[in-house]
Chain A
Amino acid sequence: MDKFRMVFQFLQSNQESFMNGICGIMALASAQMYSAFDFNCPCLPHYNLAYGLGILLVPPLILFLLGFVLNNNVSMLAEEWRRPQGQRGKDPAVLRYMFCSMAQRAMIAPAVWVSVTLLDGKCITCAFCTSVPVETLGNASHPGLSPGEIKQVLARIPCKEIYDGQELIANEVAVRYLRCVSQALGWCFVLLMTTLAFLVRSLRPCFTQAAFLKSRYWSHYIDIERKLFDETCTEHARSFAKVCIQQFFEGMSTDLEAARCHPPRKAPADAGEAAKKLLGITDQGTMNTALKSWHRCKPPLQLHPPALPSGNGGNGWAGEGQPPTQPPAPRKEVAAYYSWV
């Protein structure tokens, strides 16, 4: 019991660090994904903006949703939200706490993707190359090009091999300008995110500490209660199954003896434990019949106590009527309720 308590405490106190670990792994995976991704600007006037902004914004959305999917607590939140009130009131503060902590962790990988994308510069270069200020950086008075054609030329800036507007504006100048803007945006984004995180973390103790302690306690409680309930049900199911199967074998053994008119073979007195475990089945034919019967005709989910007539029809939980009055003390208990305690 002590060992179990120790392990449970360790896991519980480390559930937060486990979730933080997953969050860190996703952030690293997002940076790795970006470096593995082969960015390929289309270098066409309207496609550039769509492609560039798409690469900047769509993967973060996917990573955000993935962050929720990988979080174990999402199903817990959904259960708590949708359960009928019953005898236990619902506390919206607890739901808000659970949602906020999940959302904060899920935001990290998308923020890393956006920062890395902006600091690298390729997306912004691709998306906004047609908006470069040609008047200040190049020769706006280049003859013979209509605005549409200028846009076409500028759209090829990210593709150095096919760029033919060197007289209009030098490729390196435009790329440096766009990358400078992109990196400035990137660092501002990073600063903004860290400032927000800092404010969220440091303002909480100043204002809502008591409510926070309450919400945290009850959200942990809901999680533990769910796990313990699952364990209790598993133990219950094990006991149920054990008795069910035991009664099946006993029933088979009795039937077979009756059918074959064999006198019940008495196990030698000194066989003890092993003989009891044989459950009355001691030859191949009987075993085969037992196995066939188990496959073709499983017993109902209804355990009858040996001292009582098995008069309850159907299977499953018999909620109807009062159980017959139990005979006192000599009733044989045929299973034990196992508990971790």
Chain B
Amino acid sequence: MERFRMIFQYFHSNSESVMNGICGLLALASVKMYACFDFSCPCLPRYNMAYGLGIMFVPPVALFLCGLILNRQSLVMLEEWRRPQGHRKKDPAVIRYLCSSIMQRAMVAPVVWIIVTLLDGKCLICAFSSSVDPEKFVGFANASPVQVQQLLAKVPCKDDELLRNNTSRKAVSRYLRCWSQALGWSILLILIAAAFLARWLRPCFNQATLLQARHWSNYIDIEQKIFEETCCEHSRLFAHKCILHFFESMRQEIKLHSFILPREGEGAEGEEDLLRGITDQDQVNKLLKMWYYEKPPL
């Protein structure tokens, strides 16, 4: 029992590290997904922009939602937000703390995707090749506007027969990649600087409130887990009693074959305590309803 309690305490205290682990895994998965994804620019005038920007922004939204779904604390926060007040007051600081920690963790994978996309450069080249100023590049300066658009749209496709080995195509491609990588590194630098400042300056503002909010948000999480465990234990004992009662009621026929001993009562007192006097369906339903509508005061 002691060992079990220790293991459980370890998990409870480390729910933060479990969530950090999930967040890291999701970031790695996002990099892997980008590497496996076969980027294929359509090289057509209007489709390029839609495709390029779509690949840059739609997967991050999906990754953000995944981050919210996989985070257990989001459910805890929603329950705490929507519960009726009952005997326990609601603290908006706790809900805000939970919300901000969930959002921060969920934002990691989308940001990783966007940065990897920008550093790789293919998306931006595909999206903005038609928007480049053709005057700057020798090969495109002398063509008619329609032709220029067509040619520029084909820049991301290296193997296209029109532009194969065209030096102007390579020039446009390098130019856009340079912009893309500069943007990527700048965003990375800004985000890391912001995270650094946030972490350093946080103790200067409202540290006490923060400690309280963190404590009570941990408490809510642990309370939820322990309630679920207690329900499991209760249902196990409930089932056990139910089955024994069922066998008892068959006792007449069993007695005929005389292989049942009268039930010994030495374990019964301990279990009566654990059942806490709740022994039928209506009482359990009432208990669960009471737990939701009127949580006990702290």
CA separation between A171 and B271, bound complex, in Å?
75
Asked if A156 is an interface residue, CB under 8 A from chain B, the answer is no
Question: Of all chain B residues, which has the CB nearest A222?
Answer: B239
Q: Which of B133-182 contact A (CB under 8 A)?
A: 157, 159-161
Q: Which of B207-251 contact A (CB under 8 A)?
A: 228-229, 231-233, 235-236, 238-240, 242-244, 247
Q: Is the CB of B293 within 8 A of A210?
A: yes
Q: Is the CB of A194 within 8 A of B233?
A: no
Q: Is the CB of B65 within 8 A of A229?
A: no
Chain B residues near A217 (CB-CB < 8 A): 231, 235, 284, 288
Smallest beta-carbon distance A98→chain B, Å: 15
Mark B247-260 against chain A: 1 for CB-CB distance below 8 A, else 0. 10000110111111
Chain B residues near A78 (CB-CB < 8 A): none
Q: Which of B3, B37, B38, B65 contacts A198 (CB 8 A)?
A: B65
Asked if A54 is an interface residue, CB under 8 A from chain B, the answer is no
Asked if A205 meets B78 with Cβ closer than 8 Å, knowing A191-B58, A217-B231, A323-B255, the reply is yes
Q: Is the CB of B42 within 8 A of A326?
A: no
Chain A residues near B289 (CB-CB < 8 A): 210, 214
Q: Which of A179, A197, A225, A334 contacts B69 (CB 8 A)?
A: A197
Q: Is the CB of A221 within 8 A of B235?
A: yes
Q: Which of A180, A198, A206, A334 contacts B42 (CB 8 A)?
A: A180
Q: Is the CB of A197 within 8 A of B239?
A: no
Q: Is the CB of A206 within 8 A of B40?
A: no
Asked if B97 is an interface residue, CB under 8 A from chain A, the answer is no
Q: Which of A1-33 contact B (CB under 8 A)?
A: 1-2, 5-6, 8-10, 12-13
Chain B residues near A336 (CB-CB < 8 A): 259, 261
Q: Is the CB of A183 within 8 A of B40?
A: yes
Question: Of all chain B residues, which has the CB nearest A3?
Answer: B1
Asked if A286 is an interface residue, CB under 8 A from chain B, the answer is no
Q: Is the CB of B267 within 8 A of A341?
A: yes
Question: Of all chain B residues, which has the CB nearest A333?
Answer: B261
CA separation between A195 and B58, bound complex, in Å?
12
Asked if A149 is an interface residue, CB under 8 A from chain B, the answer is no
Smallest beta-carbon distance A55→chain B, Å: 18
Smallest beta-carbon distance B257→chain A, Å: 4
Asked if A302 is an interface residue, CB under 8 A from chain B, the answer is yes
Q: Is the CB of A303 within 8 A of B259?
A: yes
Q: Which of B1, B54, B78, B259 contacts A2 (CB 8 A)?
A: B1
Asked if A172 is an interface residue, CB under 8 A from chain B, the answer is yes
Asked if A80 is an interface residue, CB under 8 A from chain B, the answer is no
Mark A178-215 against chain B: 1 for CB-CB distance below 8 A, else 0. 01100110011011001101100110011001100110
Q: Is the CB of B69 within 8 A of A201?
A: yes
Asked if B291 is an interface residue, CB under 8 A from chain A, the answer is yes
Q: Is the CB of A13 within 8 A of B229?
A: yes
Asked if A100 is an interface residue, CB under 8 A from chain B, the answer is no
Asked if B68 is an interface residue, CB under 8 A from chain A, the answer is yes
Question: Of all chain B residues, which has the CB nearest A6?
Answer: B4
CA separation between A243 and B254, bound complex, in Å?
13
Chain A residues near B231 (CB-CB < 8 A): 217, 220
Asked if A239 is an interface residue, CB under 8 A from chain B, the answer is yes
Q: Is the CB of B258 within 8 A of A176?
A: no
Asked if A232 is an interface residue, CB under 8 A from chain B, the answer is yes
Q: Which of B62, B82, B240 contacts A205 (CB 8 A)?
A: B82
Q: Is the CB of B40 within 8 A of A119?
A: no
List the one stretch of B43-51, B116-124, B188-196 in contact with chain A: B43-51
Asked if A53 is an interface residue, CB under 8 A from chain B, the answer is no
Smallest beta-carbon distance A178→chain B, Å: 9
Q: Which of A278-309 contact B (CB under 8 A)?
A: 302-305, 308
Asked if A258 is an interface residue, CB under 8 A from chain B, the answer is no
Question: Of all chain A residues, which has the CB nearest B159?
Answer: A172
CA separation between A328 and B206, bound complex, in Å?
78
CA separation between A271 and B242, bound complex, in Å?
45
Asked if A225 meets B285 with Cβ closer than 8 Å, knowing A121-B40, A205-B78, A220-B235, the reply is no
CA separation between A313 and B233, bound complex, in Å?
44
Q: Is the CB of A9 within 8 A of B233?
A: yes
Q: Which of B66, B271, B288 contacts A194 (CB 8 A)?
A: B66
Q: Is the CB of B62 within 8 A of A190?
A: yes
Chain A residues near B242 (CB-CB < 8 A): 225
Asked if B79 is an interface residue, CB under 8 A from chain A, the answer is yes
Chain B residues near A243 (CB-CB < 8 A): 259
Asked if A119 meets B255 with Cβ closer than 8 Å, knowing A12-B236, A180-B42, A198-B69, the reply is no
CA separation between A341 and B239, bound complex, in Å?
13
Chain A residues near B267 (CB-CB < 8 A): 1, 341
The 10 nearest A-B residue pairs measured at CB: A335-B259, A180-B42, A225-B239, A305-B258, A6-B4, A194-B65, A221-B235, A205-B78, A303-B257, A210-B292
Using CB atoms and an 8 Å cutoff, list the residues of chain B in contact with chain A.
1, 3-4, 37-38, 40-44, 47, 50-51, 54-55, 58-59, 61-62, 65-66, 68-69, 74-75, 78-79, 82-83, 157, 159-161, 228-229, 231-233, 235-236, 238-240, 242-244, 247, 252-253, 255-261, 263, 267, 271, 284-285, 288-289, 291-293
A-B contact pairs, 21 of them (CB 8 A): A6-B4, A8-B236, A9-B233, A176-B40, A177-B47, A180-B42, A183-B40, A190-B58, A194-B66, A209-B79, A209-B83, A217-B284, A221-B235, A221-B239, A228-B240, A303-B257, A304-B257, A317-B253, A334-B258, A336-B259, A336-B261
* Other A-B pairs, 7, CB within 8 Å; known A12-B232, A179-B38: A5-B233, A119-B37, A173-B43, A176-B40, A194-B65, A205-B75, A312-B256
